[in-house]
Amino acid sequence: MHEMHSEDGFGPKMLADIKPPFIPEGASGMTVLVEWAPGDPGTPPHRHSGPCFGYVLEGAVRWELEGEPEHVIKAGETFWEPGGEVIHYQNGNASSDVPAKYIVFMMCAPDQPMLTLVNDEELEKRAHLRAPRPTD
């Protein structure tokens, strides 16, 4: 990780230093602000055509990518996902009391949507790739 901030704490500060597995040739970048009301489950299972990098501004987000255990990302923390075939199962508000807000920068493959929902048939076929569900 590269340090970028000055000794007085002001200026840029590296929050994440990620090397994505791929960036689609000819990709475009878009920055999106996502806001979820308390208890909002977020977007249904989906995937992105390229990698995504984000930062939680407020609240906490329940996060689950294919093959990784579900976890909560809190305000001030970062996230990323590789895009491509990886299913993004959860990105909703982890709190039933306060809103959640995050900003995400996405690299989108040319002539493909930024987000594609995954149908039930594919979810079933790929179920073996999903991390075990919490028991509580």
pLDDT in tens, 12-49: 888 999 987 789 999 999 999 999 999 999 999 999 99
> Looking at the predicted structure, is the pLDDT value of residue 3 above 60?
no
Nearest of 47, 44, 65 to residue 116 by alpha carbon: 47
> Looking at the predicted structure, is the pLDDT value of residue 121 above 80?
yes
Instruction: Assign a CATH topology to domain 21-103.
Output: Jelly Rolls (2.60.120)
Q: For the chain, give every domain's residue range.
A: 21-103
Single pTM value for the model: 0.88
Unique residue bearing structure tokens 């028991």? 135
How far, in Å, CA of 76 to CA of 93, rounded? 15
